[in-house]
Structure 1
Amino acid sequence: MAEDVPDVFDHLGLTEYEATALTNLLTLGRTTAPNLAEATGIPKARIYGVLESLSDRGYIKMIPGRPKEYQPKAPEEILDRAVQNRRQDYEQFRQDLEDVREQFLAEFGPRFERASEDITPTEELFHVVDVGGPSERETTELYHDARERVRVITKSFEYFDAVRPAFEDALDRGVDVDVLLLDPDHLSAENRPVQERMVDRLTEQYPSVDLRFSAAKLPWRGTVVDPSMDYETGRAIFLVEEKDVPLHMRQAAITDNGSFVAGLWRYFQLTWEYESDPVR
């Protein structure tokens, strides 16, 4: 198999036995549980549970008979069903939260208000999270919350796949998205092909997204959502370029301070209009 295929099974949420069984079913086609156990090395005591799990998720079909047989769905159907399963999981999660929302707010709302009474304005300006998974989750939330526009400043958008579903959700809802990338001349030899692939991908798959290259080096990068010059709305996540600090040791700042967001937005506007070039 190609090296990146196991990553697909990780996204499907499969155990090692389930991934092995599905891989072999896609190769062998319709077969019985004993035959599949023999082909895969999965213990016979486990194979029926594995197949039942794959069937419950809609990835394979059970064919009645003596003996019962199992047949994989088409690869495209498997991926579509995985998306549907995730949607169902999300809806259940959302409903579970809604069921306890009133009780949670009644219990902890007053506590939060009392604890926040002594917070000074400067402390409310922003909070920080580690770069990586935490910052990607915050960025994903920004895309989901966006109503009008998203502005992205990035070197090569190498983290795109981590936020792609939320990115596409924003586009589907009609949110205007612009991406300002660092000019390839300022990139390292390692990052240059990463950016080139990403630009090709964005141009081909998301034609509504405007892309430009910043002529000068960027002092910060991040995502700004729904800014306004009345200083009352908007949210952003950003990190300052720290040349000598490894990426895994950096932190990103999150702010919903309208004035601060407006300043980030104005920087983006000026750079976009006067110090950037169209993607070549």
Structure 2
Amino acid sequence: MTESDDSALARQLAHFGLSDTEIQTYLAVLENGEAKASTIADATGVSKRYVYSVCEELEDQGFVEVNDHVVPTKIRAKRPEDVIEILSNRLEEIEPALERRFSAAETRPQRFDVIKSRVTVVKRINEYISEAEYRVAISIPHSTLPQVREALQDAVERGVLVLLLVTDTDTDGSEFAEYDRPVASAIRSWNVPIPVMIAVDRELGVISSSEMMTVANSDERAISLAQKRIVPTLFGSFLANFWLSADEVYVIEPAPLGRTYESIEHAVFQATLQLRAGNSVTARVEATSNADHEATETVTGRVLETNQGIAEPVTNEFPIEHSLVLETDEGRTTIGGHGAFLEEYAARTITLEDAE
């Protein structure tokens, strides 16, 4: 084996956690096939006692066999194919953890798409709803609702907050109460042809004119976007410009307590429903303090009130304000969501529990 081969092999072995001394010892054993500790000591420049110690570590990791039933003790290198199998098994053992970590960190490419077909718009809306993890806000003509109804119902069943604004209709909401499954967490209606829009979580969105969905052979275009910096703004525009101007026609029953929410809007909405039902609620919040944006801490307290703009009567001062006011052991404190700046804490997760 040449010096360059030795260096390359040493670098590869280091990737598997072997120290420099273990690598040099193992290479010396490989070179000899089987050798006495004294021979390995001479080749590596370390004491014979230390060779025994290092070889025991190498034996535990499956690289060598130490035969101490003979005198002097012999160290034998395991067959290369056996070592490769051991190393391969180690890689297979960490694969599930790597996959989980990769999935958690994987991000969708940021993009804009111009859509020319109504069929494609509906398909994209259904696709995005099916991917929702915690929040959907959608405005859509009443005539188009049947085409996305099932996807919205599935999202509600998954525990997603669904805000549905039905346009071009004078519905009083009675039809929604008759559905076999809730189609949304809250529904408002507005008898005007406002733009079709959907904002899913903090990343996915679609915008089109109402005409594209309701007029045959329309030459209008829609925009589909996957943009983390823009979709939250789209959600805020939905609340401020359209939601609050429409009439509330349906609000879902409060979910059972004991659930954890990643969306501040959903947690505040559910806490509001519980308080209005006369229930006492405790919130356990994993949050970062606005005084220290890095350290995560647990804040627990009884929910005193909520600031929200989803269910009537609205209690927030501006449309995107959604927060909890808690009574903790240290006194009153306020909990906001992602990027909160008015509140004392920015929540990562919120668990609502029975305070009784």
TM above 0.5, yes or no, is: no
Structure number with bigger Rg = 2
Q: Which has the higher helix share?
A: 1
TM-score scaled by structure 1?
Answer: 0.36
